[in-house]
Amino acid sequence: MYNKKTNNILIIFFTLFFLVSCGMGKFGGDARTIPTASDERVKKNLEEGKGVVLFGGEKNKGSFQFASANPMWRATLEILDFLPLSNVDYSGGIVTTDWYNEGTSSNEALKITIRFLTNEIRADGIKIIVHKKKCGIQESCSVKKVQSALEGELKLAILKKATIMEKQGRKKTKRLPLK
């Protein structure tokens, strides 16, 4: 009924069908987003979790701490709770406040940006940038990055609060010894 040639065609057809349905047949895409050097492509694929796993090995899935579990993140949001926030991106590790005026000067406002460089509670794991906006009479405003004591005070407050939160978290998860 079926000859050898028909069997081969059916095998090839089903193989191609399964490869395409598993995503192996996806070609093309935006060439601007694909690195040209092979080392860069390998690095990008590893970062995205793409790859082939052989012999039961596990893929590197990465370690992500959610915002509710990260004491640095929670401490920062608690310290800045009196400021209006314009951008809060946990995956990007950045918190940006909106322009804030303390009421001392009507033509000056501050904006604070906090970048998380690591999930660990370390002084070099957080970067704080303060911008100052000063507006003139005819609403001509100038914005400058300023070095102020506020950066150091915020960093110290966030680190202290994160340390306290982490210690409290450890106490909650500590188990009693079995008798």
CATH number for the domain that contains residue 102: 3.30.530
The pLDDT of residue 12 = 85
164 within some domain:
yes
134 within some domain:
yes
Tokens of 118: 């690591």
5 within some domain:
no
Total of domains in the chain: 1
Q: How many CB atoms lie under 10 A from the CB of residue 134? A: 13
The pLDDT of residue 118 = 84
2 within some domain:
no
Q: Would you list the DSSP string of 64-93?
A: ---TTT-HHHHHHHHHTTTSPEEEEETTTT
63 within some domain:
no
Interior angle at CA 54, CA 49 and CA 58, nearest 5: 45
Tell me the per-residue pLDDT of 107-131, one tens digit each, with 9 for 90 and over. 888 999 999 988 888 889 899 999 9
Domain residues for the domain of 158 are 71-170
Nearest to residue 115, comparing CAs of 80, 84, 89, 133?
89
45 within some domain:
no
Say which residue, 144 or 176, is predicted with more confidence.
144
Per-residue confidence at 5, pLDDT binned at 50, 70, 90? confident
Backbone angles phi, psi at 175, to 5 degrees: -100, 155
Half-sphere exposure of 143 (CA within 13 A, CB side): 8
Mean pLDDT, rounded, for 49-74? 58
Whether pLDDT at 161 is above 90: yes
Per-residue confidence at 2, pLDDT binned at 50, 70, 90? low
37 within some domain:
no
Tokens 């970067």 map to which residue? Answer: 127
